[in-house]
Amino acid sequence: MDLCPAESTGLTGAEEAEIETIRKHRQELLDDIKKLKEEIAEVIAEIERFQREEEKQVADSNPGEQISKQSERDKILSLGRKKFNMDPEKGIQYLIEHQVLSSDLQEIARFLHKGEGLNKTAIGDYLGGRDPTNIQILQAFVACHQFANLNLVQALRQFLWSFRLPGEAQKIDRMMEAFANWYCKCNPGVFQSTDTCYVLSFSIIMLNTSLHNPNVKDKPHFERFVSINRGIDNGGDLPEELLKNLFESIKNEPFSIPEDDGNDLTHTFFNPNREGWLVKLGGRVKTWKRRWFILTDNCLYYFEYTTDKEPRGIIPLENLSVRKVDDPKKPNCFELFIPNCKGQKIKACKTDGDRKVVEGKHQSYKISAATPAERDEWIEAIRTNISQDPFYDLVSARKKKIASKN
């Protein structure tokens, strides 16, 4: 897709030529990066081959001098970790083939739990897999945690630090199900069922977000937390003292979520689902401004210039819908809005004139594309990216299950 719309943009010839030069330069950089990755892979393979030949020559010329097995194992382990961080399945397979790991699922789980040199996101992605082997490793991984005599928040702190929770609802469900089962086994009698532990765990995670996310202005009170969790203990209510202790623990200290080096903005914007120039209607001041939009990871980012490193605004697409709309001043418009919630502001943020992050003022976002075809392509791409918050869906389903038992 071109950097500039096909229609007249109001730019001078020199400005359009400069944008075209930037577009070509950007494509050249992307091509160079791709070639570098391929060359790095070839170099790594060549280094491995060279090391094997060198070690063989040393062994042949010095029969009495054996290369340290531990040193060789460390090299394989280091390479295996790198492979795991790029592709968890291939990394584990490599370590098994080179006999650093056995195929014993308990041993693999302990390796992941120890986590030395492993990307936490890659661990979460691997553990969340639906293959029966992955599920068994997940159960063994959870069992590596010592939850006995810990309250639920303490156990969640330990659990959520050992990996990064993936974004896919089914993976989250499997991982939290395994957590709830193991916690209840370690602490019999605390809850009447694992369903109670499952629902309360999600409530705590969502409470953590609500209390400590600066974009959430309406901070929940303890009474609201109690209300949300009514009837989840096999139809009965949990002791208020227990809920109070959990609430205060999260209020006083948020969860520490592990960060991986690969999750910075450069990584986020490197391979977007869609990008291009669009014209956006302001929230408080109703003026149309041309912005460079990037669609990736269930968010719509917009920039003042393509060369900006940080976005002017971020629109999370969770729980939003998109549709075509007409506007008397601009053609080819579409709108982002919250269905069935008229008057509610979209949870978004932007930077003001002083570059401070402030809450967005939009109840909906009206955006104009250059052509009807481009508008339809953006709508389709956004619909593909939009996702409902999986936590709410999972908790709702489990609450219905509890209610059906009573």
Q: Beta partners for 262?
A: none
Q: What is the rounded distance in angstroms from the CA atom of residue 368 to the CA atom of residue 281? A: 8
Task: Report which listed range, 99-108, 263-272, 297-306, 346-355, is most confident.
Answer: 99-108
What pLDDT is attached to residue 159?
A: 95
Q: Match 């109070």 to its residue by tokens.
A: 244
Distance separating alpha carbons of residues 301 and 314, to the nearest angstrom = 5
Under the phi-then-psi rule, with left for phi > 0, alpha for psi from -120 to 50, and beta for the rest, what region is 221?
beta
Q: Decide: residue 224, CB within 10 A, 0-12 exposed, 13-18 middle, 19+ buried.
A: middle
Residues 48-94 pLDDT 10s? 777 667 666 655 666 554 556 667 888 889 889 988 988 899 999 99
pLDDT band at 267 (very low <50, low <70, confident <90, very high): very low
Report residue 259: phi and psi, to 5°: -110, 145
Q: Average pLDDT for residues 112-136, to the nearest whole number?
A: 92
Q: Is 168 a catalytic residue?
A: yes
**Which amino acid, one-letter code, is at 374?**
E
Element at 35 (helix H, strand E)? helix 13-61
C-alpha distances in Å from residue 128, one per residue of 88, 173, 279: 11, 9, 39
For 92, 107, 316, 334, the CA distances from 284, given in Å and listed in that order, are: 53, 57, 19, 19
Q: What are the pLDDT digits (tens) for 361-383?
A: 788 999 999 999 999 999 998 98
For residue 306, what are the CA distances in angstroms to 288, 291, 333?
A: 18, 9, 22
Residue 327's pLDDT is: 93
pTM of the predicted model, to two decimals? 0.57
Give the N- to C-terminal CA distance of the chain in Å, as an integer.
56
Interstrand relation of 288-296 and 357-359 (parallel, antiparallel or unpaired): unpaired
Closest C-alpha to 402, from 203, 153, 147 = 203
On average, the pLDDT of the chain sits at 83
Candidates 295, 284, 385, 279; CA nearest to 333 is 279
% residues pLDDT > 70 (the chain): 85
Contact 296, 272 (CB under 8 A): yes
Distance CA 343, CA 382 (A): 22
> Can you read off the two tokens belonging to residue 194?
């694992």
The confidence score (pLDDT) of residue 260 equals 59
**Residues 322 and 334: beta-carbon distance below 8 Å:** yes
* Token couple for 75: 């090299």
Task: At 117, list the tokens.
Answer: 């040199």
Contact indicator for 357, 349 with CB cutoff of 8 Å: yes
Out of 16, 55, 168, 359, pick the active-site residue.
168
**DSSP bridge pairs for 321:** 337
Query: Could you tell me the CA-to-CA distances from 129 to 44, 126, 152 in Å, in that order?
Result: 28, 6, 25
Provide the token pair at 80.
Answer: 């295996």
**CA 6/CA 11 separation, integer angstroms:** 12
Band of residue 134 on the pLDDT scale cut at 50, 70, 90 = very high
**Which of residues 377 and 23 earns the better pLDDT score?**
377
